[in-house]
């Protein structure tokens, strides 16, 4: 009887869906590929990536590959999401700005790790569907806005962390300005060849840049008249 109670309690504590074991396998494989931060792997284990891609993509939802999400945009490869989240080095009290909401998956991954996620999407259709999806899935500390990420979100700045998930030719100065001293920004940068850049703003305001990894993201586009 006691064993039965324990089994039922465990089942209720860890909600399962048809993809649970695939999601666990994905998190394990990212661990083997070098993702060390347990909180990041736990986030990969808990966020239902299939709910962020069209139904037609469900068979590949837990493959380590980018997938189309409509309007020529993509949800990033899980390994790249994990690397960027690990590099962002977040704390529970952080307020984070994301550029490029897309499906909302990266924002959902961050949601459980920080206090608030502010995320900006240029495409009105994706901003609307992303916000709706995040709301339905209960990621209530993610705030989505339609707009041009080149401007950042001055009304909510400064941010502890900034993550850019579309590639600008150079990191926009506005985003560096909206970073707190001691803050960090992670972004794919470049046209053609792209590198993941980590920018640290020292407490004295000094900027330090590192290029970490070659990546491939959709370009960060300019908003019309924004
Ligand atoms: N983080 C997303 C993937 C992003 S794909 C996810 O987890 O699914 C890149 C997104 O950036 C696309 O949705 C694209 O429309 C958006 N984007 C491109 N240029 C932008 C800009 N200037 N401001 C805000 N979003 C932009």
pLDDT tens column, 38-71: 999 999 999 999 999 999 999 999 999 999 999 8
For residue 92, what pLDDT is reported? 98
Ligand 1 and 178: CB distance under 6 A: no
Residue 76 a catalytic site member: yes
pLDDT of residue 10 exceeding 80, the answer is no
Ligand 1 and 51: CB distance under 6 A: no
Ligand 1 and 121: CB distance under 6 A: yes
Average pLDDT, the chain: 94
For residue 87, what pLDDT is reported? 98
- Distance, CA 165 to ligand 1 centroid (Å)? 6
- Active-site position among 21, 29, 46, 76: 76
Ligand 1 and 76: CB distance under 6 A: yes
Residue nearest to atom 10 of ligand 1 (CA): 100
Q: For residues 183-215, b (16+ Cβ closer than 10 Å) or e, as one string?
A: bbbbbbbbeeebebbbbebeeeeeeeeeeeeeb
> What is the Rg, in whole angstroms, of the alpha carbon atoms belonging to the chain?
18
Token pair in block for residue 115: 């206090």
Residue nearest to atom 4 of ligand 1 (CA): 102
- Distance, CA 10 to ligand 1 centroid (Å)? 38
What's the predicted TM-score (pTM) here? 0.93
Residue nearest to atom 17 of ligand 1 (CA): 100
d(CA 181, CA 184): 9
Ligand 1 and 111: CB distance under 6 A: no
Largest alpha-carbon pair distance within the chain?
67
For residue 224, what pLDDT is reported? 76
The answer to whether 110 and 96 have CB atoms below 8 angstroms apart is: yes
Q: Taking residues 1-26, report their average pLDDT.
A: 71
d(CA 104, CA 144): 9
């Amino acid at each position: 009887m006691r064993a039965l109670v324990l089994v039922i309690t465990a089942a209720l504590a860890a909600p399962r869906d048809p993809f649970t074991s695939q999601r666990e396998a994905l998190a394990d494989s990212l661990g083997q590929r070098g993702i060390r931060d347990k909180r990041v792997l736990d986030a990969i284990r808990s966020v239902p990536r299939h709910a962020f891609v069209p139904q037609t993509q469900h068979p590949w939802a837990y493959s380590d590959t980018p997938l189309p999400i409509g309007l020529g945009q993509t949800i990033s490869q899980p390994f790249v999401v994990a690397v960027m989240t690990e590099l962002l080095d977040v704390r529970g009290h952080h307020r984070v700005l994301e550029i490029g909401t897309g499906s909302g998956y990266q924002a959902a991954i961050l949601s459980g790790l920080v206090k608030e996620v502010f995320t900006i999407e240029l495409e009105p259709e994706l901003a609307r569907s992303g916000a709706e999806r995040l709301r339905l899935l209960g990621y209530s500390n993610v705030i989505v806005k339609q707009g041009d990420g080149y401007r950042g979100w001055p009304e909510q700045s400064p941010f502890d962390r900034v993550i850019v998930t579309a590639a600008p030719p150079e990191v926009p100065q506005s985003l560096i300005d909206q970073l707190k001293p001691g803050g960090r920004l992670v972004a794919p940068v470049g046209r053609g060849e792209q590198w993941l850049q980590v920018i640290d703003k020292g407490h004295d305001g000094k900027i330090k840049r590192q290029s970490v990894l070659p990546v491939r993201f959709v370009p960060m586009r300019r908003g019309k008249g924004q």
